[in-house]
Structure 1
Amino acid sequence: MPYIEPHGHMVSRTTDDYERMALAGCQVICEPAFWAGFDRASAHGFYDYFRQITEYEPKRAARFGIQHFCWLCINPKEAEDTKLADEVIALIPQFLHLPNVLGIGEIGLNKNSRNELRIFEQHVQLAQDHNQLVLIHTPHLEDKLKGTKLIVQALKNFPKITPDRVIIDHVEEHTIDHVLDQGFWAGITLYPESKCTPHRAIDMLEHRRAERIWMNSACDWGVSDPLAVPKTMQAMRQRGWSPEMIQQVAWENPRTFMAQGGKFSL
């Protein structure tokens, strides 16, 4: 069954991962801008990184028959250096016209700090100014519910950023209702060491009837599994899900959300 990987950091993965994902049915990968595993020293590093995910990764994915899209930002892990963040945000508009750039992301909070919130709001302003979709990261180690509420409250200051054009990722059992009840989309991240197991993810999907939810691997530099989505699809089959319902979560939901930007075509 074909599926979309809506959140994968493929710059950190090998060509073997692309091949395995293609064999498992992956037809599209969307890559949010992310932390490099270390703090970059200047905006020049981000300029090269933006070129990498807009120019090079699509060619690497295409070798395996996979379409590649991306999102642009400076990740909240590097937002404490506000001077650097300002310089990076100033670079982004020159890339937004590219046909494979879906919007601004993954922005959000990491430690729920004031500097992170300030840089988050600058990103949202950029998205509002350029009519972009938004993909949001919520904290892992800090208070996720507090961070999620701070994010939702901040978004209310941007009237042109409507909830249906925002996906708040890395939701868990204690945050998914808050996100969906406010009208946003929700992303469930499948991770072997943190975030959600397949069965926890399926419980949440059943709780909300797969409403405005996608699931993703967020495979990156750490211990992560680029095949987390198809493995969870298999677990859904074992739980008695119909092929149509599995396709709704693994294909239709991410397609519907990202198609709003006008560039996501299959």
Structure 2
Amino acid sequence: MNYIEPHGHMVSRTTDDYERMAIAGCQAICEPAFWAGFDRASADGFYDYFRQITEYEPKRAAKFGIQHYCWLCINPKEAEDLKLAEDVIALIPEFLEKPGVLGIGEIGLNKNSRNELSIFERHLQVAQDHDQLVLIHTPHLEDKLKGTRLIVEALKNFSGIKPERVIIDHVEEHTIDHVLDHGFWAGITLYPESKCTPHRAIDMLEHRQGERIWMNSACDWGVSDPLAVPKTMQAMRQRGWTPEMIQRVAWDNPRAFMGQCEKFKM
């Protein structure tokens, strides 16, 4: 069964991973802008990074018949340097017309600091000004619920950004209802050591009947698995899910959300 990987940091993966994902049925990969594994020293580094995910990664993916899309931002892990963050945000409009750019992301909070919240709101202003979809990162561990609430409150100040055009990612059992009940989309991230295991993810999907939810591997610099989505699809089969139910989460939902951007062609 074919699927979409809606959140994968492919700059951290080898070309072999593209091949493995293609063999597993991946038809499209969407790559949010992210941390490079270290804090970058200048906006010039981000300019080259934006070129990498808008120009080079699509070519790597195309060799295996996979469409590659991306999102642009400075990740909250690097948002404490306000001058750098403002310089990076100023670069974004130049890249928004690139054919594979879907919107602004993954923005959000990491430590729930005042500077992170300020830069999050600056990104939201860019998204509102340019009518962009938004992909949001929520903090890890014990700060996730607090951060999710701060994010939802901040979004209320931007009347030009509609909830159905925002996906709040990395939800877990204690945050998924808060996100969906406010009308946003929710992303479940499948990690072997943190975030959600396949069975936790399936429990949440069953709890909300697959409502406005996608699942993704993230597959970044940490311990992660680029095949987490098809492996979870197999676990769904073992739990008695029908092919139609699996397709809704692995294909229909990400296609419906990202299809709100006319550039997304699947």
Q: Which contiguous aligned blocks of 4+ residues in structure 1 show a shift greater than 6 angstroms? A: none
1:209, 1:224 → 2: CA distance? 26
**SS in structure 1 at match of 2:233:** helix
2: CA distance, partners of 1:166 / 1:209: 19
Confirm or deny that 1:112 pairs with 2:112: yes
Deviations 1:138-157 (A, max 9, x none): 00145100000000000000
2:252 and 2:125 map into 1 onto residues whose CA distance is: 29
Per-residue deviation, residues 68-110 of structure 1 (Å, max 9, x unmatched): 0000000000000010000000000000011100000000000
Aligned ranges 1:4-19 → 2 under 5 Å? 4-19=4-19
Which residue in the other structure is 2:72 paired with?
72
Equivalents in 1 of 2:137, 2:143: separation in Å? 13
SS of residue in 1 equivalent to 2:64: coil
Task: Assess if the C-alpha contact under 8 Å between 1:165 and 1:260 holds in 2.
Answer: yes
TM-score relative to the length of structure 1: 0.99
2-structure distance, mates of 1:99, 1:196: 32
Corresponding residue number in structure 2 for 1:248: 248
Q: Residue 192 of structure 1 contacts residue 224 of structure 1 at CA under 8 Å; is this kept in 2?
A: yes
1:30 aligns with 2:30: yes
Q: Is the CA contact (8 Å cut-off) linking 1:112 and 1:142 kept in structure 2?
A: no
Match of 1:2 in 2: 2
Look up the equivalent residue of 1:160 and give its one-letter code.
G
Deviation string for 1:1-25 (max 9, x for gaps)? 0000000000000011000000000
Secondary structure of the corresponding residue to residue 252 of structure 2: helix
Percent identical residues: 86
Matched residue, 2:260: 260
Pairs aligned (count): 266
Q: Which residue of 1 aligns with 2:60?
A: 60
Aligned to 2:49: 49
**Structure 1 segment 115-134 matched on structure 2, within 5 A:** 115-134=115-134
Residue type of the alignment partner of 1:191 = Y
**Secondary structure of 2:136's aligned partner:** strand
CA distance in 1, matches of 2:119, 2:185: 22
CA apart distance, 1:255: 0.3
Aligned-partner Cα distance in 1 for 2:83–2:204: 39
CA distance in 1, matches of 2:261, 2:159: 17
For 1:75, the aligned partner's letter is N
